[in-house]
Structure 1
Amino acid sequence: MVEDFAYDVPSAASLDRLIRWHEKRAAEDGRLALNLDADDLPVAAETNRQRSSAHRQTAVCLKALRERHCPPDAEFRGHLNLKPRPKAQIRAPP
């Protein structure tokens, strides 16, 4: 089933970069929330926890988009093909 979109689906490389960026931001915001909790700033900590959760959800959605619309890279299997070899020849002395 191919769906027509009003926009182009980004390349797998672009999606990978976005996924890594959102995962990194989620981790940073999660660490910041822990530090803000330690500094007794609950409102700021909760805001960063929500931001971290949003980044994680975005990364999950981007992974689903990548799996659905970007075919996986084919593995290189050229090393498994048989190559014709010349038959062994015996050299007799002259």
Structure 2
Amino acid sequence: MVGPFYNGTSPCIVDVALYPFAYATAVLGASKGPEFTLSRDNHPQLSKYFDWLSRMSEVAAVKDTLLPPRQLIQTYDHLTKLAGEKVRLQRQASKL
């Protein structure tokens, strides 16, 4: 990183592209338990990452586009259930 953001003093396309994944990882990890959670306490070597995540979370355009954590978790859980059902149906079809 060149500055507080990937390419300097303001967010660039790299920041914008990576942030949704970083946000989802933080939210979903927190909902799934400590073994899935990245935290500054458990991973001090990632301090620059956590600083960046905090800065990106304060960008107005970013705030305006985020799903609330509860909605993101519900969406993830729904997709997980659908994927499990699809696998079950494929296994069932292969036994025919």
Q: Same fold (TM over 0.5)?
A: no
**Structure with greater helix share of residues:** 2
Task: Give TM-score, length-normalised by structure 1.
Answer: 0.36
Larger Rg computed on CA atoms: 1
